[in-house]
């Protein structure tokens, strides 16, 4: 179990996580962030989790952005975004996730219209993902 804390030791309060932590997690295959209500942005260091295959973000009410570095997660097969009511848009780099097979966006109202086929602003970024 890994406890997400920012550099001041407060869970999810800041926009960064101590950079010395990320290299220790390079072999991590799944990461769940559940109910981290103070989290406003994922740290850019997440792009260094090169073995990550599953990323679950659930009930992070104040999450507004995902970093561009998320596009470096070349092994990512599943991305679940649930209950992130303030998440404004997907990063452009999401189109680099060629291994992504499952993108699940639920109760993220700001993303809903952005991801709709064919007129949503973010649709061109995710149209490569297989649809069920």
Is residue 126 included in any domain, yes or no?
A: no
| Domain, as residue range, for 25 | 1-107
Tell me if 6 is assigned to some domain.
Answer: yes
- Residue 31 inside a domain? The answer is yes
Q: What is the largest CA-CA distance in the chain?
A: 43
The whole-number pLDDT of residue 1 equals: 38
Residue 118 domain-assigned (yes or no) = no
Nearest alpha carbon to residue 48 among 70, 77, 29: 70
DSSP string, 33-58: EES-TT--B--GGGGG-TT--EEEEE
Q: 9 lies in a domain?
A: yes
16 part of a folded domain: yes
Question: Rounded distance, CA 10 to CA 80, Å?
Answer: 24
Q: Number of folded domains in the chain?
A: 1
> DSSP assignment, residue 68?
G
User: What is the domain-level CATH number for residue 65?
Assistant: 3.80.10.10
Q: For residue 54, what are the β-bridge partners? A: 30, 78
- Model confidence, pTM: 0.83
Consecutive 10-residue averages of pLDDT for the chain (132 residues): 45 47 79 94 92 97 96 97 97 97 96 92 94 61
Q: Kindly state whether residue 132 falls inside one of the protein's structural domains.
A: no
């Amino acid at each position: 179990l890994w406890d997400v804390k920012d550099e001041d030791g407060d869970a999810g309060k800041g926009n960064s996580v101590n950079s010395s932590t990320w290299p220790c997690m390079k072999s991590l295959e799944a990461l769940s962030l559940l109910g981290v209500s103070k989290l406003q942005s994922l740290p850019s260091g997440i792009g260094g989790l090169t073995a990550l295959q599953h990323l679950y973000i659930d009930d992070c009410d104040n999450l507004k952005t995902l970093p561009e570095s998320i596009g470096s997660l070349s092994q990512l097969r599943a991305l679940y975004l649930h209950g992130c009511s303030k998440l404004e848009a997907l990063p452009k780099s999401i189109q680099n996730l060629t291994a992504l097979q499952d993108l699940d966006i639920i109760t993220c109202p700001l993303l809903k219209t952005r991801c709709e086929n064919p007129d949503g602003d973010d649709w061109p970024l995710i149209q490569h993902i297989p649809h069920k």
